[in-house]
Chains A and B, each alone.
Chain A
Amino acid sequence: MPKTTAFHPRLEPLNETKVWKNWSGFLIAPQFKYSLTNEYYAIRSSVSLLDTSPLFKYRISGSDSIRLLERIMSRDINRCRTGSAQYTVWSDEKGFVLQDGVILRTDDFEFFLTAGEPTLRYFKAIAKEMKLEEVSVKDVSEAYGILALQGPHAHSVISQLTQDATDLKYFDLTHANICETEVIISRTGYTGDLGYEIWIPNENALTVWDALMAAGEGYNIAPIGTTALKMARVEAGLLLMGVDFDSSRFAWVDAQRETAIELGWSWMFRNLEKDDRDFIGRAAIEAEIKNKTSRWKTVGLEIDWHSYEAVHLDAGILPPKSDLYHETTMSIYRRSETPWDYAGYATSFLFSSLLRKPIAIAKLPLDLTDAGTEVDLEIPVIRKPVNVLANVSSLPFFVPERKTATMGGGK
C-alpha cells in the first residue's frame, strides 16, 4: 500500500474526486476538484497549495560539500549564493542528463536538494571516489514535507504568517518561523507564477498547512493536484523527467538519453570557460558545444488555432479543448514535398485555457528550431492521424511579471 504524506489527513477530506495516484510510493491527488481547469486557475488567478512531499530530499553539508557539488552538478554550484536556490542538473560522463532538481544553499556549507529519483548512493559513491572526508549526504526525504504555495496571491497569504518571505528575490530563500515552526521558504516553484516552496518538518506539517489554508481563505486558496500543476508547468516551459526526458541512468541506448543542451539548458553553460570545475560530463558537454553535435533541441510548439479548428470541424466534430493535457508522444513532420516526412516529436500537450490555444513541448532537429518555423503535428481526429500546422516557439509560453517580482519592492 502506498504511504501517505504528512499532509494527508488534511488532503483526504478535501479530495472531492476521491481519486489518488501513486507518486514515488505516496498517495497524491491528481486533482481535488472535478473541474481541472478550475483547479488550474487557482494558480493563475488566486492562489494554490500543493503537496510535493514525495520528492526525494537530501541534505548535503560539510566543508567538502562544495567540492562534491562542483564535481557532480553540471551547473556551477559556486553561482548559488548562500541564501539562494538554483535549478540544476547532473549528468553522466557522456554528458547525458541523470536528473534535474532544485538545490537550496541554506548556509555556506549546507545544501538541500530535491530530486525526482533516489540519488543518495550515487552522491555518496562520488564523494568516496573523490576521497572527500568533510562531507555528509543525508536522505531527509521523510523528515520534511514540502508545500508549494503558488499564484498571484501567494505573497498575500504568506505575508500574514511571516514577514521574512517578503523581500525574497526570485530564487532566494530564507529560514522563517511559521506558527512556531522553523521552516525554509524559497521563492521558487514549478508553475511559472509568483510563488514559494516551503520545507516543513513533518511533525509540524499540519499546523503549517492549517495556517496557510486559513490565511488563504479570503483569497480563495485551493489545494491543487499534480495535473493542474503539470498544466501550468507546460505554459512555464518547465520539463518533467519521465515525460519530456528520461534519466540516462536506466536508459538502454543513447537514443533514449539527452544532454542538457538538447533539453534547452545551454544557458547553464554560458560561463563555462570562466570556471575550471572538473565536473562529470564536462568534456562531452564542451565537445557538444564546440562541434555542434546536439542531435536535437527542445522547443515550444504553438499549434495553429485555425488549423486545429479546421481539421475537427471538417470532420464534423468539435475540437477537444477542455481539461486537455496529455503526455503521449506525438509525431512531428517537416512541411516538405515528401508526405509524412518525420522530423521529431512532442512530449507534453496542453490546450491552454489561458493562452487559448494548444501548446506542446517538442524535440526537433536543429534546422527546425528557429522560432516561427512551421511544422506539422500529428493528432488523431476520429482515430485517424491528421496533421495540424504548428509554429516553433521559444519556451516558456507564459511569463507574467509577478513570476520574478520581489514583493518587498526591492530590486
Chain B
Amino acid sequence: MSNSNNYDAIVIGGGHNGLVNAAYLAKSGLKTLVLERRHLVGGAAITEELIPGFKFTTFSYAISLMRPDIVQDLRLADHGMMVLPLVNTFQPGLNGDYLLLGADADANFHEIARHSREDAESIRDLSHLIDRVCFALKPLMDNIPPNAMSDEPVELAAMAGLKEYMAGLEPDVRTMIDKFVNCSAAEILEEYFESDLVKALIASSGIIGSKVGPRSKGSGLVWLFHKMGEYDGIFGEWGFHKGGNGGFTEVLAKAVMSFGGTILTDADVETVIYKNSVATGVRLASGDEYFAPTVVSALDPRRTFTQLVSSDDLPDSLIEAIGKYKFQGTAAKVNFALSDLPNFPGLENRKDIYMGFTNLGPSIDYLEEAFADCEAGRYSKKPFLDCCVQSTIDPDMTPPGKHIMSCFVMYAPYHLSESDWDTERENLGDVVQATIEEFFPGFGSLILHREIVTPLDIERIVGLTEGNIFAGELFADQMFLNRPAPGWNQYRTPIAGYYQCGSGTHPGGCVIGGPGKLAAQQILGDLKHEEG
C-alpha cells in the first residue's frame, strides 16, 4: 500500500458530525481523511436542486442547536456560515382561527390574548423558566458526560460533581428539569395554558422525530431538547441556513479542507480494520484500504457496533444494549416546489405568515389522533406537519417569485403493519397534500413538483437505521450517561483507536455538532495521553 493511503485519522461518514469531528482533528494537526459513501457530504443535512432553480432540503431543513463554541473554534463564519432568522411562527386552525407569533413580545402578548389573556401572561413565565433550565443544562450539552459505569477516580469525581451541580440548581429549575424528564409535554402545558392552539403549537416540539404523542412520557424531554438551541444567544430560536442545511454542511466541508483535511466521496466503508482490539484502518466496498491509528465512526450506533466491526469482538453487555437501543423512526418528509404562496382564508396575500415555521397541528387531540395511527402501525391519516417555505426568507432557494415548501411529516412509522413503504410512498404524499389543502384551500393547484421521503428512504439514502432522524430516540434512557449505552457514552469503543461521533452519541441528534466536537476532544486527549 502506498503512503498516500496513510493518515493520522480517518472519519467514516461525511454527515455534519463527521465533518465537525474531522475539522477539529485536522485543526489540531492530524492528517485527516473523511470517507463519505454518497456523492455529496452532509448526510441528513443536504440541499438538492431536484428541478432547475429549486433547492430542496431533502431531509433536515432548519437549524438552531449547532453549538456556538464550534462555530467559533472552526471559524465557520469565515467559511460562509449564515443562518437567517425566522420571522414568524404560524399556527393555523381549521376553523379560520390562527396564531401568528413574531419577534415582538408585546405583539405576541396581544396575539395570544385573542385566545386567552392568561395564556398570554403564562407564556412569559414558562419561557423564562425554560430559558433558565436551558442555561443550567448548557454545560452538560457542551462537555463530555461522565461515565457512570466506571470506577476510575476521575469518573467517580465527575459523577459526584454532576450530582453536586444538579443539587445546586435553584429549586424551581430542578423541579422543571424533573418534569421535562418525567412528564409528557401535554401534562406540563395543561398547567400553564387553556388555549388549544397555544398548547398544540408548543407540544409539537415534543413529538418531532420521536415515537411519542404529546400525552406520552418522553415528549417532555424531546420538547426540552428542541429548546436547547440558540439563535444569537436566544434559546429555542431557529433559523434557515443560507442555501438550506446543505449550505451549512458545505461550509463545514470548507472548514475541514481549510485545516488541511481531505474529503473523499463515493467511498463506502465496508469494515474497520482491527487486530487484537486495535484499529488500524478501514476497507471500502471497492476493496481500497486506508490506514490510520485513529478511526472514527460518524454513523449511528447500530452501524458503529454491529456492521463496521464484528459484534463478536465486543462485550456482550454492549451488544445487548445496542440491540435494545430504540431507533423506530416515525418521520417522513414531503417537499414541494410551488408556483406561488398558499392562501390562508382571512390572511390572503400575506407573505409574512410563511416566514418561519407553519405548524399544522391545531390541537393536542389532533396530534394524539395522528399518534394513534402510528401506534397502530399506520401513517397518520391527518398528520402533523411542520412546513417551511424557505424561499420567503432566502430568495436563492427558488427562481424569483416561485417557492419551495419543506414539510416534515409526523407520524410515518418505519414498520408499517399492513403494507410497506415502497407501496405507500405516493399515498403518503397524497395524505400530506390533502392535509395541507384543508388548511390552505387551492394548495394542490400550486404544486410544480413533489418529493416524498419515507423513513425507509431516510434509512436507505442517509444510512440512519430505521430512518430515525436523531440516530436513535431522544428518550431519557438513551441520553447523556446512556447514549448510546451505559459505559460507552464517552466516544470510545472497546477497540483501541476506534471512536464514535454520530448523533447516537451525546448530546444527540439534530444539526448540533456536539457529538463531533466532543469526540474530537476525547480523541485528542487520548493521543496526548499516549504521547505523554
Q: Are B395 and A219 in contact (CB under 8 A)?
A: yes
Q: Are A356 and B71 in contact (CB under 8 A)?
A: yes
Instruction: Give min CB distance, B103 to chain A, whole Å.
Output: 4
Which stretch of A37-45, A70-78, A133-141, A187-195 is in the interface? A37-45
Q: Are A38 and B232 in contact (CB under 8 A)?
A: no
Instruction: Give min CB distance, B227 to chain A, whole Å.
Output: 13
Q: Are A322 and B395 in contact (CB under 8 A)?
A: no
- Chain B, residues 460-483, CB within 8 Å of chain A (1/0): the string is 000000000000000000000000
A353 and B68 CA atoms in complex are apart in Å by: 12
A35-56 interface with B by 8 A CB criterion: 35, 37-38, 41, 44-46
Instruction: Give min CB distance, B354 to chain A, whole Å.
Output: 11
Instruction: Give min CB distance, A200 to chain B, whole Å.
Output: 24
A309 and B72 CA atoms in complex are apart in Å by: 12
Which stretch of B2-10, B26-34, B78-86, B505-513 is in the interface? B78-86
Q: Are A318 and B135 in contact (CB under 8 A)?
A: yes
Residue of A nearest to B87 (CB): A38
Q: Contacts of B69 on A, CB cut-off 8 Å?
A: 306
Q: Are A218 and B401 in contact (CB under 8 A)?
A: yes
Q: Are B242 and A45 in contact (CB under 8 A)?
A: yes
- Chain A, residues 296-311, CB within 8 Å of chain B (1/0): the string is 0000000001100100
Q: Are B103 and A354 in contact (CB under 8 A)?
A: no
A322 and B230 CA atoms in complex are apart in Å by: 10
Q: Does A2 contact B (CB under 8 A)?
A: no
Q: Does A351 contact B (CB under 8 A)?
A: yes
Q: Are A353 and B104 in contact (CB under 8 A)?
A: no
Residue of A nearest to B106 (CB): A34
Q: Contacts of B232 on A, CB cut-off 8 Å?
A: 37, 321-323, 351, 353
Asked, given contacts A354-B77, A356-B72, whether A34 binds B103 with beta carbons under 8 Å apart, the answer is yes
Q: Does A319 contact B (CB under 8 A)?
A: yes
Q: Are B400 and A219 in contact (CB under 8 A)?
A: yes
Q: Are A218 and B72 in contact (CB under 8 A)?
A: no
Q: Are A218 and B395 in contact (CB under 8 A)?
A: yes
Q: Contacts of B87 on A, CB cut-off 8 Å?
A: 33, 35, 38
Q: Are A318 and B131 in contact (CB under 8 A)?
A: yes
Q: Are B233 and A217 in contact (CB under 8 A)?
A: no
A318-363 interface with B by 8 A CB criterion: 318-323, 351, 353-357
Q: Are B84 and A35 in contact (CB under 8 A)?
A: no
A34 and B402 CA atoms in complex are apart in Å by: 25
A318 and B127 CA atoms in complex are apart in Å by: 14
Residue of B nearest to A398 (CB): B77
A355 and B71 CA atoms in complex are apart in Å by: 10
Q: Does B278 contact A (CB under 8 A)?
A: no
Interface range on chain A (Cβ under 8 Å from partner): 20 to 34
Q: Does A220 contact B (CB under 8 A)?
A: yes
A175 and B364 CA atoms in complex are apart in Å by: 61
Instruction: Give min CB distance, B135 to chain A, whole Å.
Output: 6
Q: Are B81 and A45 in contact (CB under 8 A)?
A: no
Q: Are B77 and A38 in contact (CB under 8 A)?
A: no
A357 and B233 CA atoms in complex are apart in Å by: 11
A276 and B400 CA atoms in complex are apart in Å by: 53
Asked, given contacts A321-B232, A356-B72, whether A34 binds B400 with beta carbons under 8 Å apart, the answer is no
Q: Contacts of B71 on A, CB cut-off 8 Å?
A: 356
- Chain B, residues 50-66, CB within 8 Å of chain A (1/0): the string is 00000000000000000
Q: Does B234 contact A (CB under 8 A)?
A: yes
Q: Does B393 contact A (CB under 8 A)?
A: yes
Q: Does A67 contact B (CB under 8 A)?
A: no
Q: Are B77 and A45 in contact (CB under 8 A)?
A: no
Q: Does A153 contact B (CB under 8 A)?
A: yes
Q: Are A217 and B401 in contact (CB under 8 A)?
A: yes
Q: Are B233 and A41 in contact (CB under 8 A)?
A: no
Q: Contacts of A323 on B, CB cut-off 8 Å?
A: 232
A218 and B351 CA atoms in complex are apart in Å by: 11
Beyond the given A318-B135, A323-B232, please list 16 additional residue pairs across the A-B interface where CB-CB is below 8 A.
A34-B102, A35-B85, A41-B85, A44-B82, A153-B395, A217-B401, A220-B392, A220-B394, A305-B72, A318-B235, A319-B233, A351-B233, A356-B68, A356-B71, A356-B77, A357-B77
The 3 closest A-B pairs by CB, nearest first: A218-B400, A321-B233, A35-B103
Q: What are 30 sample pairs from A and B whose C-beta atoms fall under 8 A apart?
A: A34-B103, A35-B85, A35-B87, A37-B85, A41-B84, A45-B82, A45-B84, A45-B394, A46-B394, A153-B395, A217-B400, A218-B395, A218-B400, A218-B401, A219-B395, A219-B400, A220-B392, A220-B393, A220-B395, A306-B69, A309-B68, A318-B135, A321-B232, A321-B233, A321-B234, A322-B233, A323-B232, A353-B85, A353-B232, A356-B77
